[in-house]
Structure 1
Amino acid sequence: MPVLPENGLPTQARWALAALATGSFCVQLDSFALNLVLPVLRADLGGPGGRGVTAWVVSGYLLAAGSLMPVAGRLADLYGRRRMLVLGAVLFGVSAGLCAVAESMTFLVAARVAQGAGGALIMPAGLALLTNACPPGSGRRATGRALGLAGLGTVSGPFVGGALAEAVSWRAAFWLTVPLAAATALCARRASESRDAAAAGRPLDVAGAVTATGALVCLAGRPEHGAVWVRVGGALLLGALFVRAERRAAVPLVDLGRSGIVRTWC
């Protein structure tokens, strides 16, 4: 998808803008294109579990993307925003190709989880890369334009997915995102690398990442996967452990004290 350069931005910022715009459009298009594809997909692949298993094609992706995004943002600060954006785009594109050739529902769900991990890397790394590359005062406008294209992907996704499923196959909805992911990686490669100097040499908050992800997994479980009260209790316990881990971490995923979410913890 062509992205027009932003007037007044330096070349490196233009490439960062192109990478974020294309990547966010790709992620949203893929997410919402499946809304009208799921019935056709379920009829084609079938398998045990019916609607329950098919629902994990969407929820597995969303769970991976949502739970891993804070971790992805920290990895981008530590190891480079451009590097993580390229890695996320490659993972997203390869996983989309694996989804397109899936012959079983289990394989498709696993590929969707990997694709969600790629999407989790694309968004925070792309935003940080663009913000760092823009001159003072111009980052907000450039970010708004990039995320505006993400909204276009959200709106057009169901129509594109339905049209491809009817005219070609549900697999075409996944193949469509492969060149978009490749374009994201290529644009990101042309942008300048950046890191968070304050986080250099400090360890990743593994305890916070594990507890936050575990809490979200508990909440995302379907009723047939365990008693509701057991899952809610597990989510509350892991949530409490997450708060404690964030209060003690040298570089927390979420600075709860500074944000005002939690002022004290016993």
Structure 2
Amino acid sequence: MDVQAGAPLRYQSPAGRWVLLATVLGSSLAFIDATVVNIALPAIGHDLGADAAGLQWTVNGYALSLASLILLGGSLSDRFGRKRVFLAGIAWFATASLLCGLAPTVELLVTARVLQGIGGALLTPGALAILEASFAPEDRAKAIGAWSGLGGIGGALGPFLGGWLVEVGDWRYIFLINVPVAALVLWVAARHVPESRNPSAARAFDATGLVTGAAGLGGLTYGFTAWPAGGPGDPVVLISLAVGVAGMVAFVVAERRSAHPMLPLEIFRSAAFSGANLVTFLVYAANGGVFFLVVVNLQVVAGFTPMASGVALLPVTVLMLLLSARAGALGQRIGPRIPMTAGPIVCAAALAWLSMVGADASYGTDVLPPVILFGLGLALLVAPLTATALGSLDDSYAGLASGVNNAVARAASLLAVAILPLAAGLGAGGLTDPGTLQPVYRTAMLLCAGLMTGGGVLAWFLIPNRLTAHTPAESFCDPCSPPMVRRG
């Protein structure tokens, strides 16, 4: 059933809470599987005999398809209905998760992870677009902040549950548990989420943009992942990087010439939108490196159990839960520039501190303090950043704005996982060798601190104090019926 659309939802209303619950649970599936698999990497490597490249592609296979197709997911949600595409993504994600849990080899696991990323690309932009289109303008920052914070519940439970399942059960359960959660999301969303779309969106399919964008990201990622083993002169590395660069150039040319582009380049004329996405790229590249390497370092170098390493970053998600809605309201009250500048600088200090975690690390004195500081910085940053990225464009482009911002974030994380170990000096070594990993981890954390610092500096110069008000979105019960303009 479709919920009848009318007046915009209020943050404290029962209907608003149901919509928030559905979007939080749905997007949490995609967020958790982007990080919780890191806890299981040593177990996967031992069980399936995977080398460092295989383990990286267990992470990158998911991130690659997610980043490559998330623009398409946002565009489809604007065109054919945000609720409809969101539900399709949830169902797809659940099916792919089942395949991940049953994979007998690392090659089939990577394939299933690619399929899982496609589902994530459909559901992730839809979740934020539903919030942007459903809530009253004065409540959107609170709703997005609450979405960021409540997503921390899934983020908090995910590593804890994932570590526990790996330690006492089997790494496969971290994928199989997605199936009943997805069933719950489908039930809640079908009953309580209103449908909305952009009636003026073109119906044509931008196949050229899709292929060139995916080729660009895929080529760059594969080339950087293969570099440590093959070296910079390896033909596979050179060809992959050349395909990646050519694909990205072709994508920009195709979108500029297309009558119905998947990514209309004119949206980047908004200085706030462009600035928010540049900041997103830097800070999420840092996040990708942190959440990939910290849990591995704690297990391999510091000797933590999978469960202990899984809950080590729990304070980050708890702080996000407690503070993100307040940070969203703060950004709406004083403007996004100050929190988007201060947040990354605080994170940078935390990562410089976290880089010192080594073989004799104690959680209480060496890990917990910088993790708390990192969580405070992220809580200050994320909600204003997301609200700025979505609020910089007209509401009719909610799906596209969400898709672009998510694509930038996922591409940044994807490239960070591929490039950071290489830039930090991994060479041909493995991620499961303590002597090799420790110096690589230290250098990578300092590089991530530099990325965070750059994000804070860019935010100060590129993000305005106030965003311009835009036209309300058009929403309606049935995508085939005439639109009903919402009056706020």
What TM-score do the two structures reach when normalised by structure 2?
Answer: 0.49
Is 1:141 aligned to residue 148 of structure 2?
Answer: no
Looking at structure 2, the residues matched to 152 and 203 of structure 1 have their Cα atoms a distance apart, in angstroms, of 39
Is 1:219 aligned to residue 220 of structure 2?
Answer: yes
| Residue 208 of structure 2: aligned partner | 207
| Residue 264 of structure 1: aligned partner | none
Looking at structure 1, the residues matched to 75 and 256 of structure 2 have their Cα atoms a distance apart, in angstroms, of 16
Within the candidate set 245, 255, 264, 1:246 is matched to: 255
| Residue 114 of structure 1: aligned partner | 115
Q: Is the 8 A contact 1:88 1:122 kept in 2?
A: yes
Q: Secondary structure at the match of 1:230?
A: helix
Within the candidate set 9, 12, 21, 1:8 is matched to: 12
Q: Against the structure 1 CA distance between its residues 10 and 245, is the aligned structure 2 distance closer, same or farther, given a 3 Å change threshold?
A: farther
Within the candidate set 193, 196, 210, 1:194 is matched to: 196
Q: Against the structure 1 CA distance between its residues 10 and 250, is the aligned structure 2 distance closer, same or farther, given a 3 Å change threshold?
A: farther
Q: How does 1:18-29 map to 2 (within 5 A)?
A: 18-29=21-32
Q: Which piece of structure 1 moves more, 95-104 or 219-228?
A: 219-228
Q: Against the structure 1 CA distance between its residues 21 and 258, is the aligned structure 2 distance closer, same or farther, given a 3 Å change threshold?
A: closer
Instruction: Among all aligned residue pairs of Structure 1 and Structure 2, give the percentage whose two residues are the same amino acid.
Output: 36
| Residue 182 of structure 1: aligned partner | 183
Looking at structure 2, the residues matched to 74 and 258 of structure 1 have their Cα atoms a distance apart, in angstroms, of 13
How far off its partner does 1:193 sit? 1.4
Gaps of at least 5 residues in structure 1 are 262-266
How far off its partner does 1:40 sit? 1.0
How far off its partner does 1:89 sit? 0.7
Structure 2 counterpart of 1:36, one-letter code = I
Looking at structure 1, the residues matched to 196 and 235 of structure 2 have their Cα atoms a distance apart, in angstroms, of 44
**Count of aligned positions:** 253
How far off its partner does 1:90 sit? 0.9
How far off its partner does 1:235 sit? 1.8
Q: Is the 8 A contact 1:24 1:149 kept in 2?
A: no
How far off its partner does 1:159 sit? 3.3
| Residue 62 of structure 2: aligned partner | 61
| Residue 99 of structure 1: aligned partner | 100
Structure 2 counterpart of 1:31, one-letter code = A
Q: Is the 8 A contact 2:68 2:213 kept in 1?
A: yes
Q: Is the 8 A contact 1:35 1:161 kept in 2?
A: no
Q: Is the 8 A contact 1:74 1:204 kept in 2?
A: no
Looking at structure 1, the residues matched to 155 and 216 of structure 2 have their Cα atoms a distance apart, in angstroms, of 27
| Residue 43 of structure 1: aligned partner | 46
How far off its partner does 1:214 sit? 0.6
If you compute each CA radius of gyration, which structure gives the higher value, 1 or 2? 2
How far off its partner does 1:231 sit? 2.4
| Residue 255 of structure 1: aligned partner | 264
How far off its partner does 1:37 sit? 0.7
Listed one character per residue, the Cα deviations across residues 47-102 of structure 1 (whole Å, up to 9, x for unaligned) are xx633223211110010111110011111112211111111111111111121122
Looking at structure 2, the residues matched to 22 and 257 of structure 1 have their Cα atoms a distance apart, in angstroms, of 33
Gaps of at least 5 residues in structure 2 are 1-8, 275-488
